[in-house]
Amino acid sequence: MPVRTSKFNGNQSIVLFEEYVGYSQKGICYPNISSCITITGVGLGGLIGTHITVVSKIDIVDDILTEMVAYGGDSIRNCYVIGAIVPFKKRRKENQQKDKFKD
């Protein structure tokens, strides 16, 4: 499944919904992160970010992180992980355990 990317026009802010990745020179808005996390990298050319849910499959997360590197992730100087981290980690673990028993 291809990574969903947000369109950007240079100096405009972008909005990243669940499982999107994007780049902006101005700003990134992440709506509805009550049970999600966001990862924002601050690089030389701007901001690179993603919005990951508790039910995001690991292969999708891998693809998203690969896409972030393609957007210029190798130039990231600071990285911020924001959201409900403790509940996110707990739910991720629960979802991974459920996935093991589906087969």
- Model confidence over 2-54: pLDDT tens digits? 567 765 656 788 899 999 998 888 899 999 888 889 999 998 888 899 999 88
Question: At CA 69, angle to CA 65 and CA 70, rounded to 5?
Answer: 115
CA distance 81 to 74: 17
pLDDT in tens, 59-80: 888 899 888 888 877 788 999 9
User: Could you give the CA distance from residue 14 to residue 87 in angstroms, rounded to a whole number?
Assistant: 26
pLDDT exceeds cutoff 60 at 55: yes
Question: Which of 4, 48, 45 lies closest to 23, judged by CA?
Answer: 48
